[in-house]
């Protein structure tokens, strides 16, 4: 192979950072290299990264393989000990061209492979400018990194560091550059996006950032947020939901559970009542809005009654896009030291919660039949409605933004017939 290939796991923030990594590595003159940007959310994510590294080595025996991302930050020795890995970079180092310029060509020891600093020492997130997101018609923009909270199940703060925000002007500049490059939808991403601005002068909020962005870059046609913590939603954000048609009617919530005792043991800052109240309030402001949510099944000490509370919350909140994670103990986290459930029971509950999610998604699809929707066509023959529901758009031109009538669904995707162009 020649050039730089990037293999990305995990969140939208990683997707954005992979484009920064590619640009910085190419600027440094790196060639014949594979960058693996890992995720540490679950043990399965780490396993998949290791598997991908071994596969990359088999397919490219002479390439340099450089591993980075959250799993490399939290489990650096795990990857340094792999014979298939040439170097391990931390989450801070991966964004700097100097890191790639200093890589030796061959013959490094396990200790020399490591270029991973103390992520907790990082106090700022430098703006990173990119012109495109490879393979995506929606552009992701990093507005925040790290997390100040310490949920008992979560290893991510130890991979990302404490919360730090990108200055508002830099976000505006990056958005303008991407829109000028043809992107019609912008997605604001972060590890804990709703904590945005707490470390900036004047402490702006995520909602104020979004308002400013839509005002300063009027050519943004669609604006979304990645996962948010509903307890941190600010009044500016609620204003956008109620009054701004360019702010897309979909929110992905970091719920994690629906039982109040489990939420306390997770060190979450919301109760099940808070979640229900937020969903009801937002839906009253914008009835067509859909919710996604992350939920964990099989958390330590979870009883059957507690699990049923989680199922009930998903139903009460009408979560159309439910992302279910079987609890995965991450070494070094408090939850890993709690009394664990049998793994078979964890998997069984995760399957039941996914079943509930499938029921809720089917009901959501049913509710959309007969309506008109504006869709943005992706590269893979699918499209997203404004409320983030997938539509079969086979044959339509990628990046097209068009109005269609929803005629049915197959349980996974909506079916449609084309009506007219919605935008030039």
What domains are defined for the chain? 4-116 (3.40.50.12160), 138-366 (3.80.30.20), 371-418 (no CATH)
Give pLDDT, residue 121.
Answer: 79
Neighbouring residues of 202: CB distance < 8 A, sequence distance ≥ 6: none
> DSSP character for 382?
E
pLDDT band at 10 (very low <50, low <70, confident <90, very high): confident
Residue 206, both tokens: 């995520």
Angstrom distance (rounded) from CA 168 to CA 206: 10
Give pLDDT, residue 129.
Answer: 64
Give pLDDT, residue 11.
Answer: 87
**Residue 356 belongs to what H/E stretch?**
helix 343-368
CB 196 within 8 A of CB 225: no
Reading phi first (left if > 0) and then psi (alpha if -120 to 50, else beta), residue 156 is in alpha
Give pLDDT, residue 169.
Answer: 94
Which of 97-111, 309-323, 353-367 is the least confident region?
97-111
Tell me what the mean pLDDT of segment 383-396 comes to.
Answer: 95
> Does residue 45 have a pLDDT over 70?
yes
* Backbone torsions φ then ψ of 74, nearest 5 degrees: -90, -20
| pLDDT tens digit sequence for 185-216 | 999 999 999 999 999 999 999 999 999 999 99
Average pLDDT, the chain: 92
pLDDT band at 424 (very low <50, low <70, confident <90, very high): very low
pLDDT band at 250 (very low <50, low <70, confident <90, very high): very high
Give pLDDT, residue 9.
Answer: 93
Which of 113-117, 172-176, 396-400 is the least confident region?
113-117
Tell me what the mean pLDDT of segment 34-59 comes to.
Answer: 94
Tell me what the mean pLDDT of segment 118-144 comes to.
Answer: 78
Instruction: Give the predicted TM-score (pTM) of the model.
Output: 0.89
Tell me what the mean pLDDT of segment 8-13 comes to.
Answer: 89
227 compared with 131, residue with greater pLDDT: 227
Residue labelled with tokens 């801070």: 92
> Does residue 422 have a pLDDT over 90?
no
pLDDT band at 284 (very low <50, low <70, confident <90, very high): very high
Of all residues in the chain, the percent with pLDDT exceeding 90 is 80
pLDDT band at 378 (very low <50, low <70, confident <90, very high): very high
């Amino acid at each position: 192979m020649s050039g730089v290939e990037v293999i990305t796991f995990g969140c939208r923030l990683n997707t954005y950072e992979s484009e920064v990594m590619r640009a910085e590595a190419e600027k440094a003159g790196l060639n014949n290299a594979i960058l693996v940007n890992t995720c540490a959310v679950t043990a399965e994510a780490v396993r998949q990264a290791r598997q991908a590294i071994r596969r990359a080595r088999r397919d490219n025996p002479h390439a340099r393989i450089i591993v980075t991302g959250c799993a490399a930050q939290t489990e650096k020795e795990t990857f340094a000990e792999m014979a298939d890995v040439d170097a391990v970079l931390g989450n801070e180092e991966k964004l700097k061209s100097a890191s790639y310029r200093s890589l030796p060509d061959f013959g490094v020891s396990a200790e020399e492979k490591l270029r991973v600093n103390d992520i907790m020492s990082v106090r700022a997130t430098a703006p990173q400018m990119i012109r495109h997101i490879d393979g995506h018609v929606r552009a992701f923009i990093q507005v925040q990194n790290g997390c100040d909270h310490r949920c008992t199940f979560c290893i991510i703060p130890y991979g990302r560091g404490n919360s730090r925000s990108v200055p508002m002007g830099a976000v505006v500049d990056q958005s303008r550059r991407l829109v000028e490059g043809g992107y019609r939808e912008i997605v604001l991403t972060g590890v804990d996006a709703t904590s945005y601005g707490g470390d900036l002068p004047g402490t702006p909020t995520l909602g104020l950032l979004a308002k400013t962005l839509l005002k300063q870059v009027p050519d943004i046609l669609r604006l979304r947020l990645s996962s948010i913590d509903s307890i941190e939603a600010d009044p500016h954000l609620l204003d956008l939901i109620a009054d701004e048609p360019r702010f897309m009617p979909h929110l992905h919530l970091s719920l994690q559970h629906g039982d109040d005792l489990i939420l306390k043991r997770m060190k979450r800052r919301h109760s099940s009542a808070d979640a229900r109240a937020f969903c009801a309030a937002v839906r009253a402001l914008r009835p067509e809005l859909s919710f996604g949510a992350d939920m964990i099944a099989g958390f330590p000490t979870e009883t059957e009654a507690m699990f049923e509370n989680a199922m009930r919350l998903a139903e009460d909140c009408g979560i159309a896009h439910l992302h279910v994670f079987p609890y995965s103990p991450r070494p070094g986290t408090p939850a890993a030291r709690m009394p664990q459930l049998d793994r078979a029971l964890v998997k069984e509950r995760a399957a039941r919660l996914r079943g509930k999610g499938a029921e809720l998604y089917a009901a959501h699809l049913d509710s959309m039949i007969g309506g008109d929707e504006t869709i943005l066509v992706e590269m893979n023959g699918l499209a997203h409605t404004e409320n983030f529901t997938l539509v079969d758009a086979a044959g339509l031109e990628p990046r097209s933004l068009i109005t269609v009538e929803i005629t049915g669904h197959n349980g996974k995707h909506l079916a449609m017939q084309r009506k007219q162009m919605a935008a030039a």
